[in-house]
């Protein structure tokens, strides 16, 4: 076993211990372009992303109809708290190994109109081989479809990394008729961020949620191994 493989084994075991359902590592040679808040110096040092995921509760998602619920809002908040808290713990353990590590917030959006965060967690996870980008513009995993929330830890710890899956949504179009905004097209590039954002804003205001959330297309993307 190489040093990189041994390091990844330790990290993935730690991730499982902390309660993550998915763990992978991805090469990020273009991190300076992918990250929107890191200094160029930090982005130049941290060339690997540890992609981590937790599956959403099917019972909560399947309770959704054509809009988010307060139950889903609470679940969404708690999952994000779990992701951030445990990504921090994983980063601390990486630093104990003598490497640098930066946990990136799971859901801290810096531009809602295009739904952009500090870093695209789904892109890191795609490169790590955890799934592909679906028609709904979300990561689709073989195990649970888009019923997953993601977080990333950036590091310079030498790790063996994954490769993108050679898969896509195939003939599945379940998310298209489900989308309350009509924002989903035939391929990820056709996704209408503006229409999605406008419907999220409508839900936030009319339902007094305090968050831009939906979850309906996630409900209808359950994975097909």
At residue 54's C-alpha, the angle toward residues 49 and 58, to 5°, is 150
d(CA 36, CA 191): 22
Query: Could you read off the pLDDT tens digit of each residue along the chain, which spans 225 residues?
Result: 899 999 999 999 999 999 999 999 999 999 888 887 778 888 889 999 999 999 999 999 999 999 999 999 999 999 999 999 999 999 999 999 999 999 999 986 666 555 566 789 999 999 999 999 999 999 999 999 999 999 999 999 999 999 999 999 999 999 999 999 999 999 999 999 899 999 999 999 999 888 889 999 999 998 655
Q: Tell me if 126 sits within 8 A of 24, measured CB to CB.
A: no
d(CA 224, CA 13): 26
CA 70 to chain centre: 22
d(CA 26, CA 164): 9
> Structural domain boundaries of the chain?
3-219
Cα–Cα distances in angstroms (integers) from residue 42 to residues 46, 47, 155, in the given order: 6, 9, 10
Q: Could you tell me which residues are beta bridge partners of residue 155?
A: 48, 101
What's the half-sphere exposure (Cβ side, CA atoms, 13 Å) at 63?
Answer: 12
């Amino acid at each position: 076993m190489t040093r990189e493989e041994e390091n990844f084994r330790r990290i993935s075991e730690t991730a499982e211990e902390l309660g993550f359902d998915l763990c992978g590592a991805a090469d990020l040679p273009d991190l300076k372009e992918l990250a929107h808040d890191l200094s160029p110096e930090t982005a130049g040092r941290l060339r690997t992303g540890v992609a981590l995921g937790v599956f959403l509760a099917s019972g909560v998602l399947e309770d959704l109809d054509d809009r988010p619920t307060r139950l889903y809002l609470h679940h969404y908040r708690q999952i994000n708290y779990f992701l951030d808290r445990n990504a921090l713990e994983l980063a601390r353990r990486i630093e104990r190994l003598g490497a640098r590590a930066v946990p990136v917030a799971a859901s801290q959006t810096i531009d809602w109109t295009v739904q952009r965060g500090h870093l695209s967690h789904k892109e890191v996870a795609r490169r790590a081989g955890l799934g592909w980008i679906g028609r709904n513009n979300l990561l689709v995993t073989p195990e649970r479809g888009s019923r997953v929330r993601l977080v990333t830890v950036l590091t310079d710890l030498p790790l063996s990394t994954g490769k993108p899956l050679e898969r896509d949504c195939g003939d599945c179009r379940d998310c298209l008729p489900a989308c309350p905004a009509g924002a989903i097209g035939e391929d990820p590039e056709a996704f209408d961020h503006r229409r999605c954002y406008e419907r999220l804003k409508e839900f936030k205001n009319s339902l007094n949620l305090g968050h831009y959330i939906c979850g309906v297309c996630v409900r209808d993307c359950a994975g097909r191994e």
